[in-house]
Amino acid sequence: MLPHLTRRWPVYAVLALLAYPWIWRAPYFHLLGFDTLLGATMAVSWNIMGGYTGYKSLGHSAFFGLGAYLVAIAANRWGWNPLWSAPLLALVVVAVALLLGWIMLRTTGSAFVIATIALLLIFRLLALNLRGITGGAPGLSQPLPPWSPEFSRLPFFYYMLIWTLVAVAVSAFIVRSRFGLGLLAIRDDEGKAEMVGVNTTLYKVLAFGLSAYFVGLGGGIWSYFQTHISPVFAFDLRIGVDMILMTMLGGLGTVWGPVLGAFILIPARDFILFRFGATQIHLAISGALMLAIILFLPRGILPTLQEWLERRRAPASAFVGARLMTELRDESAATASTPPGDPHSRVRPAPR
């Protein structure tokens, strides 16, 4: 591949995103951009738990809704500006997630998945019924942003962009750290990870808490963006499903996979909604897409693409020689900080 382009592409991508709202100036495109960045941020966050650690939560919308409600309540009661209260209150979401994670992460496999669904349902039911705090089914409104309405989506777009970049940076930092290595070890074999001295419980709980941060933050910003929230939309199972879909499409357990997934899925979904209009069809398509990804592209776009490229470039040498070459390349690449991909694809038997 072209080394300059591959190394610098994030810079170009960010420049393109900065220019985007000025090229497509219609409010619709600003809304689409915001939605995409919001989805990307949350998928990156979900991936820390679902991708790196291998515990796939279906209930992350619980943290989304919690963030949304905390921000709305703080804005109404104490006049806190969501732009600074959202990142702050997301810490409260993290605290809740740490506590719940500490309880829930005694479970593994499908029991964990089901427990996360139960968690979401409990949160939604509480939001519907604690009327004094949440306003019940009608939901909560909060003050409008101070800037003019026709301009209103632009600041949100740039603000969200900042947080997307922060989330990606955090995710990239984690996967290169000792902590990240521990998470990957848990995903691959929890028993062995425990045996070689990884404090699996602590690691899992921390990963769960961390993965709630940007989801809670996203909920907070979304809540300000919407100005009105209600339990059914804030604690919607589909928000969590979207995080999974985006991550699995782009590449589970990769840094950029969730972002790529969001940039494909959200515009595509918008197109479908625009084309067919019905949200029910959108649901059926989401489900069918999820099935298709699991059946035919189980590792997602990025790892599959990477493997394909490597296979093309790999010399047709003997097994030992080819493996040595991969290792040598990895070593030199590691010093020049490679984009981290699926660690499995690093050392693998050479193609015949």
Q: Is residue 283 near another protein by the rule CB under 8 A?
A: yes
117 vs 264 by CB, closer to another protein:
117
**Stretch near another protein under the rule CB under 8 A, chosen from 66-74, 114-122, 176-184, 194-202:** 114-122
To which H or E segment does residue 141 belong?
A: strand 140-141
Residue closer to another protein (CB basis): 33 or 257: 257
Q: Which of the residues 9 through 68 are near another protein (CB under 8 A)?
A: 54-56, 58
Q: Is the Cβ of residue 284 or residue 334 nearer to another protein in the bound state?
A: 284
- Do 140 and 228 meet the contact criterion of CB atoms below 8 Å apart? yes
Q: Residue 99 interacts with another protein (CB under 8 A)? A: no
Handedness of CA 146, 149, 150, 154 (dihedral sign): positive
CB of 123 to another protein, least distance (A): 10
Pair of tokens at residue 266:
């959200």
Dist. CA 100–CA 205, nearest whole Å: 9
Contact range with another protein by CB under 8 A, out of 2-10, 104-112, 205-213, 325-333: 104-112
Taking CB under 8 A as the rule, does residue 266 contact another protein? no
CA 323 to chain centre: 33
- The closest of 175, 235, 183 to 208, measured between CA atoms, is 183
Q: Does 268 bind another protein (CB under 8 A)?
A: no
Nearest CB to another protein, comparing residues 6 and 110: 110
Tokens standing for 258? 């969730």
Task: Tell which one of 15, 19, 91, 103 touches another protein (CB under 8 A).
Answer: 103
How many whole angstroms separate alpha carbon 306 and alpha carbon 337?
Answer: 16
Question: Could you please report the per-residue DSSP string of 33-84?
Answer: HHHHHHHHHHHHHHHIIIIII----S-THHHHHHHHHHHHHHHHHH---HHH
Pick the binder of another protein from 43, 244, 249, 350 (CB under 8 A).
Answer: 244
Binding mask 291-320 for another protein (x = CB under 8 A): x--xx--x----------------------
Picking from 93, 51, 119, the residue whose alpha carbon sits closest to that of residue 302 is 51
Taking the least distance from each CB to another protein, the nearer of 58 and 140 is 58
Least distance to another protein, CB of residue 164, Å: 25
Closest contact distance (angstroms) between CB of 288 and another protein is 5
Contact assessment for residue 349 and residue 319, using Cβ atoms and an 8 Å cutoff: yes
Contact call for residue 154 and another protein (CB under 8 A) = no
- Which residues have CB under 8 Å from 89's CB, separation 6+? 67, 70, 71, 74, 216, 220
Select 37 or 58, whichever has its Cβ closest to another protein: 58
Binding stretches for another protein (CB under 8 A)? 54-56, 58, 103-104, 106-115, 117-119, 121-122, 125-126, 128-129, 237-238, 241, 244, 278, 280-288, 290-291, 294-295, 298
